[in-house]
Amino acid sequence: MKCDTLVIVGVGLLGGSLARAVRQRDVARRLVGIDRAESHRRRAVELGLVDQAVADLADEAAAGADMVVACTPVDCIAAPLIEAARRCRPDALLTDVGSTKAGIVRAVEDALPPDRLFVGGHPLAGSEKCGPEHADGGLFDGRLVILTPTPRTRPEALERATGFWQALGARVRIMTPEEHDRAVALTSHLPHVVASALAAVLPGSLCELAASGFRDTTRLASSDPRLWTAICSHNREFLLEALELFEGKLEEFRRALSRDDAARLFELLEEGKRARGGLASRGP
Amino acid sequence: MKCDTLVIVGVGLLGGSLARAVRQRDVARRLVGIDRAESHRRRAVELGLVDQAVADLADEAAAGADMVVACTPVDCIAAPLIEAARRCRPDALLTDVGSTKAGIVRAVEDALPPDRLFVGGHPLAGSEKCGPEHADGGLFDGRLVILTPTPRTRPEALERATGFWQALGARVRIMTPEEHDRAVALTSHLPHVVASALAAVLPGSLCELAASGFRDTTRLASSDPRLWTAICSHNREFLLEALELFEGKLEEFRRALSRDDAARLFELLEEGKRARGGLASRGP
């Protein structure tokens, strides 16, 4: 699996990390970054992440692409992929790394002729940091990438996307867009909301007392609010379901505490420990 | 500040780490560990954490103590301190490392003659790990230790306890037992409950999809349920207040999501990020 010209739309943390990983594993001959932010374009070239960085897919630098990966915020993924389909070679593979899938996949499939090669993707890797200067070529190594084909996906698209991610050291798992969105509402979007709510209830006067436990539990609250507003909005229905589940569990804790029911409290804490113990130490 | 004979009651993770720190900084001439668990006593001696380990404060090994630190679970702190007061020298300093203070301090003060030297303490340091084999001599280095004197505390007790912790590299802050308990309900006990509830709502089938964000947010769920049942029960009133505050914030998220109010969602996420940003990178 080797691309000729890989176009990465959005060279922030994820796009930059993808570019670096592609370079390190020699998965593309030529890398073009597309970013509206002049600072991202400049840094991406300075850091050697891409061969060339331009502001727009209309630029001829993108015209020869045989693969386009959208690494923009979830509310800015469908549009550039649809535009890319008009600008690039007809056999170019179009995919993305967005944290939500159903809305994006629907929008792109509705707009694209059926012969185009598109499949949605989501590498389960990230960071609360932003910008190409934090690009990490090892970000996808050993991680899980979800690809979300539909009945309209051409087998060649799924095959090439799978090969691409495997060439970067990732493992690939197939889910429907809806299965994916329901799952990540629990594994990713809910923890973000929980971390943010927890951070927000700490009065500034108690910051000095917040030890490593509070810090770890709220780390995700440092993520970019702009990106996460879009993700939460995109996935609001499944996220509301996940919130309800979580609030129900919290309510069980509240009831046990109210009744001073130590036996029940112990059961609940043990259930949490058992569930946490089911996670491998490193992650997907 | 140097002790002659320091007795540590409970040589698990915290007691063992305290012993190691005392050794490394040469803060006591002789270290005696008291633990009902034979395995803890054996490991504590094998690892060189203490000079001698016995099962009971009644043992003559403890009789000459000029300082006793209870490092047992919060529901087993008052009793050994009260017994220590009967066994040790009358000028021995009695203190503890318990995560809750009001109940412990009240019980000990009610039982002790007014001339005894006692002050409650809580180093803001710990780990989800258990047992003397995870003892870490650097656990208290640069950390904050809360001491909780009351009008009944003799100034000498506060002074010696302060000197002891400072000799181990910790910083000392004074609070009333109630101020302490209200604060740690938010900074420590609430995050434990939240982490546990979040871990518990993840179906086993989705473990494979839980990335570093989920892992960090739920790390505290791995803590010992027995210890944390006691802590939560001890501090249930302040913990219920903290839970209510958190549930209120979560409800704001739920409302913004239900209404698809992206502007409000952004405000909430930004509030969380700002609050999280107020925490220094390392902690107390």
Evaluate whether residue B103 is within a structural domain: yes
Q: What is the pLDDT of residue A283?
A: 52
Q: Given pLDDT bands bounded at 50, 70 and 90, which one contains residue A108?
A: very high
Evaluate whether residue A125 is within a structural domain: yes
Q: What is the pLDDT of residue A129?
A: 76
Put simply, the answer to whether A284 touches B211 (Cβ < 8 Å) is yes
Contact B43, B85 (CB under 8 A): no
Q: What is the pLDDT of residue B266?
A: 98
Evaluate whether residue A283 is within a structural domain: no
Q: Which of A67-76, A160-169, B130-139 has the lowest mean pLDDT?
A: B130-139
- Assess whether A24 and A120 both reside in one domain: yes
pLDDT digits (tens, 9 = 90+) for A114-147: 999 999 999 998 776 788 889 999 999 999 999 9
Q: What percent of chain B has pLDDT over 90?
A: 89
Contact A11, A19 (CB under 8 A): yes
Evaluate whether residue B283 is within a structural domain: no
Domain range enclosing B218:
180-277
Is A268 at the interface with chain B, CB within 8 A?
yes
> For position A209, which CATH number holds?
1.10.3660.10
* Whole-number average pLDDT of chain B: 94
CA distance B235 to B243: 12
> For position B11, which CATH number holds?
3.40.50.720
Q: Given pLDDT bands bounded at 50, 70 and 90, which one contains residue B9?
A: very high
Put simply, the answer to whether A215 touches B279 (Cβ < 8 Å) is yes
Q: What percent of chain A has pLDDT over 90?
A: 89
Residue of B207, B200, B240, B222 whose CA lies nearest to A245 = B200
Tokens (6 digits) for A245: 């589940």
| Burial label, A150 (beta-carbon count in 10 A; 0-12, 13-18, 19+) | middle
Put simply, the answer to whether A202 touches B187 (Cβ < 8 Å) is yes
Q: State which of A175, A206, A233 marks the end of a domain.
A: A175
Q: Nearest-CA distance from B156 to chain A in Å?
A: 25
Evaluate whether residue A282 is within a structural domain: no
Residues of B in contact with A171 (CB under 8 A): none
pLDDT digits (tens, 9 = 90+) for B221-250: 999 999 999 999 999 999 999 999 999 999
Instruction: List, edge to edge, every strand of the sheet that includes B117-118.
Output: B52-54, B28-34, B3-9, B67-70, B93-96, B117-118
pLDDT digits (tens, 9 = 90+) for A191-231: 999 999 999 999 999 999 998 899 999 999 999 999 999 99
Total domains present in chain B: 2
**Interface list for A 186-225 with B (CB within 8 A):** 186-188, 190-204, 206-225
Residue of B76, B74, B44, B53 whose CA lies nearest to B7 = B53
Contact A131, A105 (CB under 8 A): no
Q: Please check the confidence at residue B152 and state whether its pLDDT lies above 90.
A: yes
Q: What is the pLDDT of residue B51?
A: 96
Classify B158 as helix, strand or coil.
helix
CA angle B180-B28-B170, nearest 5°? 35
Q: What is the pLDDT of residue A61?
A: 82
Residues of A in contact with B249 (CB under 8 A): 197-198, 200-201
- Assess whether A251 and A188 both reside in one domain: yes
CA distance A226 to B11: 48
Q: Please check the confidence at residue B138 and state whether its pLDDT lies above 80.
A: yes
Put simply, the answer to whether A257 touches B273 (Cβ < 8 Å) is no
- Assess whether B123 and B211 both reside in one domain: no
Q: Given pLDDT bands bounded at 50, 70 and 90, which one contains residue B28?
A: very high
- Assess whether B148 and B163 both reside in one domain: yes
- Assess whether B163 and B214 both reside in one domain: no
Q: What is the pLDDT of residue A1?
A: 67
Q: What is the pLDDT of residue A264?
A: 98
**Interface list for B 140-179 with A (CB within 8 A):** 143-144, 146, 173
- Assess whether A81 and A156 both reside in one domain: yes
- Assess whether B122 and B250 both reside in one domain: no
Q: Please check the confidence at residue B42 and state whether its pLDDT lies above 70.
A: yes
Q: Which of B94-108, B117-131, B255-269 has the lowest mean pLDDT?
A: B117-131
CA distance A13 to A138: 12
Q: Please check the confidence at residue A282 and state whether its pLDDT lies above 70.
A: no
Q: What is the mean pLDDT of residues A81-91?
A: 93
Q: Please check the confidence at residue A93 and state whether its pLDDT lies above 90.
A: yes
- Assess whether B72 and B203 both reside in one domain: no
**Interface list for A 71-130 with B (CB within 8 A):** 124-126
Evaluate whether residue B140 is within a structural domain: yes
Q: What is the pLDDT of residue B284?
A: 55
Q: Which residue has the tokens 């569990």?
A: A249
CA distance B31 to A68: 66
Evaluate whether residue B282 is within a structural domain: no
- Assess whether B246 and B171 both reside in one domain: no
DSSP code for A254: H
- Assess whether A89 and A192 both reside in one domain: no
Residues of B in contact with A207 (CB under 8 A): 278-280
Q: What is the mean pLDDT of residues A230-248?
A: 97
Residues of B in contact with A195 (CB under 8 A): 217, 272, 276
Evaluate whether residue A284 is within a structural domain: no
Q: Given pLDDT bands bounded at 50, 70 and 90, which one contains residue B280?
A: low
Q: Nearest-CA distance from A216 to chain B in Å?
A: 5
- Assess whether A231 and A147 both reside in one domain: no
Q: Given pLDDT bands bounded at 50, 70 and 90, which one contains residue B211?
A: confident
ipTM for this model:
0.91
Q: Which of A197, A228, A249 sits opposite B197 (nearest CB)?
A: A249
Q: What is the pLDDT of residue A268?
A: 98
CA distance A255 to B232: 13
Contact B156, A224 (CB under 8 A): no
Q: State which of B158, B175, B192 marks the end of a domain.
A: B175
Q: What is the pLDDT of residue B84?
A: 94
Q: Given pLDDT bands bounded at 50, 70 and 90, which one contains residue B55?
A: very high
pLDDT digits (tens, 9 = 90+) for B160-188: 999 999 999 999 999 999 999 999 999 99
Q: What percent of chain A has pLDDT over 70?
A: 98
Q: State which of A159, A175, A191 marks the end of a domain.
A: A175
- Assess whether B157 and B195 both reside in one domain: no
